[in-house]
A and B are shown apart, each in its own frame.
Chain A
Amino acid sequence: MNWTSLRGPKLEVPAMPGPMAARAHLAPAQDRGRLAIQDLSIAYGEGAGRRTVVERFSLDVAPGEFVCVLGPSGCGKSTVLNVVAGFVPPSRGRVMVDGEPITAPGADRGMVFQQATLFPWKSVLDNVAFGPLMTTGSSSTAEQTARTFLSLVGLAAFEKNYPMELSGGMQQRVGIARALANYPRVLLMDEPFGALDAQTRAMMQEALLNIWAEFRTTVLFITHDIEEAIFLGDRVVVMGASPGRIVADIPVDIPRPRSPEDHFSDAFVRIKRECFELIRAETMKAFEQQSGMAARAAG
């Protein structure tokens, strides 16, 4: 897909952020979108009931890098994402984007949720235009940007429809376009394809890689699906549970652009086995801990 072909004939080029800024990201990003998570701990509750959800989590993501965080459910991977998004304050440690510490949610970190959370009262176009409208205040600029990104996700024909009229996969594509329309430094994706059926999910993974190839932004992608993590990521960060922490950081040395055939490559199968054993060991550990606690409670 050619980026220039997506531009409308009368597309204005606002100074910042605008298509020019996006264009800069088409080349592997150099200095924009560096994510640094340093010694992050998150705990809830007070006194004896205090529970540590995430412990000493450190992660560096280079600009334009696609990092998948893989872990069993309940390992705190979504919590990490919520800290980066600015919804949850860290109990210890710090999170920085391009050297600036995060204090609150902001347009520089685009978020894609498990459910698309599109605003049902806004048309597809207005949903995608929402971010630019908030940041630039101009609805005409916002609409032009929105059209660009709707074309990017292949849904230009549906701009007048309401979200409810779209399928789950289409809704999630709109959700991605909406997050990207703010030209975020980092794209945060919280199991975005978790609610889709297997076929749609495979299609969406390919679509996401195509979009990302056009729009090279830093991505932090949360999933519990091993194959998804390997297929999408430059690195797979495996988390263990109770408390959540990093147990492995595996580089995925499968060349891009990737195709579904890559699922059967030696490299893929090797990483998959490695991840599988790590996850299995973590799940067993968590299971034993729980039954031990249950036994203590019973005894």
Chain B
Amino acid sequence: MSAADVVEPSAPLSRRARKWRLGRERALTGLTVAGLFLAWLLSTHYGLVNPLFLPSPAAVWTAFVRTATEGYQGSLLHEHLLASLGRVLTGYVLACAIGIPLGIVMGLSRDVKAVFDPVIEFYRPLPPLALYTLIVMWLGIGDTSKVALLFLAALPPLTISSMQAAAGVDPRFVKAARSLGAGKAQLFRHVFLPACLPGICTGMRISLGFTYTVLVAAEIVAATAGLGWMIWDASKFLISDVVIMGLFVLALTGVALDFAIRRCERALTPWRFR
């Protein structure tokens, strides 16, 4: 082994090396996806698994085309998707509008924290479905209870991360701003809020991901459209190609949502991405 073979693990990578590294990572990711797909294709093609458990890629694709053009139980695929996205985003946006300011105030005032913290900490570990039974009794079987469940799922990560962000603002920034002549309102707008933003953004991402995972649970009771309901209903009738297709759409939409919120994060906190 020559000296050139010894690479310092922490040595900063050159532009070319970084590019190569990124290319290798992408290739590995691509290989994994291709390998899984191939395994799926071959195992179904040679009848190694019961098609009830794992339908072939072709069957899933057919289910996709059929649902997109003819629909599933009265709604086209994009209508199911929009119904679900509508519910998720309504619950999420409401949770952001309430959870972020609440979290900031909780981070700043121990009294406010003492009031709200037990409530959030009490229901946070409850499984969404257990909570849902109660919500259905209170709010009925309509969309209100579905949005309420998604709202409740979205809230804790938002308040907790906003609270931690607000409580963790470096006091040296406040000191610097005050010695530069900043008043209370200016301090809040120019120092406090931007200092909290990275933490809040992280909370927003975690929250959206978690809210999305609760979607299927939220659509189990008395829905007539929605991706979660479609998967649930299809599984009841053992239509596994629709189940798998629905899961793919659910996963891809989830990835798209995460991508969208990363873009928001970049736009809101550009200094972290330079």
Contacts and interface: CB of A to CB of B under 8 A. Distances in A.
Contacts of A87: 175, 178-179
How many residues of B sit at the interface, in one of the four size bands? Answer: 20 to 34
A165 B272 CA distance: 10
B177 interface: yes
A106 interface: yes
A122 B173 CA distance: 12
B220 interface: no
A278 B156 CA distance: 58
Contacts of A165: 274
Nearest to A120: B271
A72 interface: no
Interface in B177-199: 177-183, 186, 190-191, 194-195, 197
A134 B181 contact: yes
B176 interface: yes
Contacts of A85: 179
Interface in B135-182: 170, 172-173, 175-182
Contacts of A134: 177, 180-183, 186
Interface residues of A, number: 28
Interface in A124-176: 130-131, 134-135, 161-162, 164-165
A107 interface: yes
B172 A105 contact: no
Interface string A74-113: 0000000000011100000000000000000111011101
A179 B175 CA distance: 13
Given A119-B191, A121-B195, A121-B197, A107 B180 contact: yes
Nearest to A131: B180
B172 A117 contact: yes
A178 interface: yes
B69 interface: no
A130 B179 contact: no
A107 B181 contact: yes
Nearest to A126: B190
A72 to B, nearest CB: 23
Contact of A135 (B173, B181, B269): B181
A121 B176 contact: no
Contact of A113 (B176, B183, B269): B176
A181 B121 CA distance: 47
A182 B172 contact: no
Given A107-B180, A113-B176, A117-B172, A164 B274 contact: yes
Contacts of B181: 106-107, 131, 134-135, 182
13 contacts: A86-B179, A87-B175, A87-B179, A109-B179, A117-B172, A119-B176, A121-B197, A121-B269, A121-B271, A134-B181, A162-B271, A164-B271, A178-B180
Interface of B: 170, 172-173, 175-183, 186, 190-191, 194-195, 197, 269, 271, 274
